Amino acid sequence: MFLFGLLCTIASLPLVAQKYKTAADTIKLNKEYVEVANEVAELTAKLTVAQNIIQNLIKLYRMHRKLLRKAATRHTRLPMVTWMMQKAQKRKQRKH
């Protein structure tokens, strides 16, 4: 089955191939090729810029998340520390 499909594909290639009769056809093809190559290069450059932006955003997100975690642990510890200090002061008052 695979061999039959391969034979059909090979046999149909000359029918699909475009024939150029004049030098103007070749010039047009070359011009189209250059335009497409330029578009590919431009899109590749835009893709690279977008990937760099995404990587920077990911770094910023991770830094922000890390800072938020640090801030959250500080704020949750602070009331605990003040509570412990108040408790220690009450103990001192009781002893005196």
Cite the DSSP H helix spans in 1-96: 2-16, 23-95
Highest mean pLDDT among 26-30, 70-74, 81-85: 26-30
How many distinct structural domains can be found in the chain? Answer: 1
pLDDT band at 67 (very low <50, low <70, confident <90, very high): confident
**Per residue in 9-60, pLDDT tens?**
655 555 455 666 777 888 888 999 999 999 999 999 999 999 999 999 999 9
Whether 14 maps to a domain, the answer reads: no
The pLDDT of residue 65 is above 80: yes
Separation CA 36–CA 32 (nearest Å): 6
Whether 9 maps to a domain, the answer reads: no
Domain that holds residue 57: 21-95
Whether 1 maps to a domain, the answer reads: no
Tell me, what's the pLDDT at 77? 60
Q: What are the tokens at 52?
A: 């760099």
Tell me, what's the pLDDT at 92? 82
Separation CA 24–CA 36 (nearest Å): 18
Whether 89 maps to a domain, the answer reads: yes
